[in-house]
Amino acid sequence: MNYTIKQLSDLAGVSTRTLRYYDQIDLLKPERINQSGYRVYGPKQVDLLQQILFYRELAFSLKEIRSLLKSPNFNFRDALTDHHQKLIAKKQHLEQLIRTVEQTLAAQKGAIQMTDHEKFDAFKKEKLAENERKYGREIRENYGEKTIEKANKQFAGLSRADYEKTQAIEKEMFENLSKAMQLNDPASAAAQKAAALHRQWLFFFWPEGTYSKEAHAGLAQMYVDDPRFTSYYDTHLANGAAKMLRDAVNIYTQQN
């Protein structure tokens, strides 16, 4: 039995474009081309297409399918196992994403309930005062009066949306830092992510143009040297959190 492209496409439930594409990429060539230039498919091609669609269902890429079908010693099981790993990895990534979105959503909801504008303003001011109390002197010493004034102004000027972003960033940073501490590796992906998030976080609080790799690394060192900083990080996670962050930031600023 021979089929035209349309007949085969109807049979298999794919578009003619798909069949032409498969021809083009050497995945499924027609048996022959007739005098009018029409593609003619035979039973072998029907079988092959069947197999192709089977693999496609399993979300193999066409390139992978081509390899599988063309290599004479196609190792179905290894390919499947490998494929399985990839799918699992994808799923885990998706789950992480979903968690992050849910957290952001939860933070958002909490904020919405806090409709009282005054409350929010007060909260910001409180944070600012706290910040001032805690780190004011250090920052002042390092960057001077003007810088700290500008920083305070910037924090006071944060919109509610921005404020929530800082919270989300800080939260994610803590999560990555936590993972890094389990791995006990400041060069791990999680640790580096934490360092990157920490930088992002700083951008919200440092006056424009203040950021530099040196300042970042310096601040991280301060986290270890000053017990007030240290305790902030260590009590939020576990002992050694400040050190881990410092080490991660050191690697981060050297590499980027």
Contact footprint for DNA (CB under 7 A) = 4-7, 15-18, 20-21, 34-39, 56, 61-63
Report the nearest approach of DNA to the CB of residue 104 (Å).
Answer: 18
Report the nearest approach of DNA to the CB of residue 5 (Å).
Answer: 4
- Which among DNA, its own copies, none contacts residue 39 (Cβ within 5 to 8 A by kind)? DNA
Q: Is 149 in the site for its own copies (CB under 8 A)?
A: no
Report the nearest approach of DNA to the CB of residue 227 (Å).
Answer: 39
* Distance in angstroms (rounded) separating the CA atoms of residues 256 and 85: 31
Q: Is 70 in the site for its own copies (CB under 8 A)?
A: no
- Which among DNA, its own copies, none contacts residue 78 (Cβ within 5 to 8 A by kind)? none
Give whole-number Cα distances, 42 to 67, 70, 183, in Å: 22, 18, 57
* Distance in angstroms (rounded) separating the CA atoms of residues 17 and 21: 6
Q: Is 117 in the site for its own copies (CB under 8 A)?
A: no
Report which DSSP code applies to 177: H
Phi, psi for 32 (deg, rounded to 5): -160, 175
- Asked whether 136 and 152 are in contact (CB, 8 A), the reply is no
Phi, psi for 229 (deg, rounded to 5): -65, -50
Give whole-number Cα distances, 176 to 104, 111, 121, 197, 213, in Å: 16, 24, 30, 9, 20
144: left (phi over 0), alpha (psi -120 to 50) or beta: left
Amino acid at 94: L
Q: Is 67 in the site for its own copies (CB under 8 A)?
A: no
Q: Which parts of 30-49 interact with its own copies (CB under 8 A)?
A: 43, 46
* 143-146 contacts, C-beta under 8 A, 24 or more apart: 143/210
Residue in 25, 33, 101, 187 binding its own copies, rule: CB under 8 A? 101
Q: Is 53 in the site for its own copies (CB under 8 A)?
A: yes
Residue in 32, 63, 84, 125 binding its own copies, rule: CB under 8 A? 84
- Which among its own copies, DNA, none contacts residue 77 (Cβ within 5 to 8 A by kind)? its own copies
* Distance in angstroms (rounded) separating the CA atoms of residues 145 and 251: 30
- Which among DNA, its own copies, none contacts residue 184 (Cβ within 5 to 8 A by kind)? none
Question: Closer CB to its own copies, residue 141 or residue 208?
Answer: 208
Amino acid at 154: Q
Contact footprint for its own copies (CB under 8 A):
1, 10-11, 13, 43, 46, 50-51, 53-54, 57-59, 76-77, 80-81, 83-84, 87-88, 90-91, 94-95, 97-98, 100-102, 104-105, 108-109, 112, 161, 165, 168-169, 196, 199-200, 203-204, 208-209, 211, 256
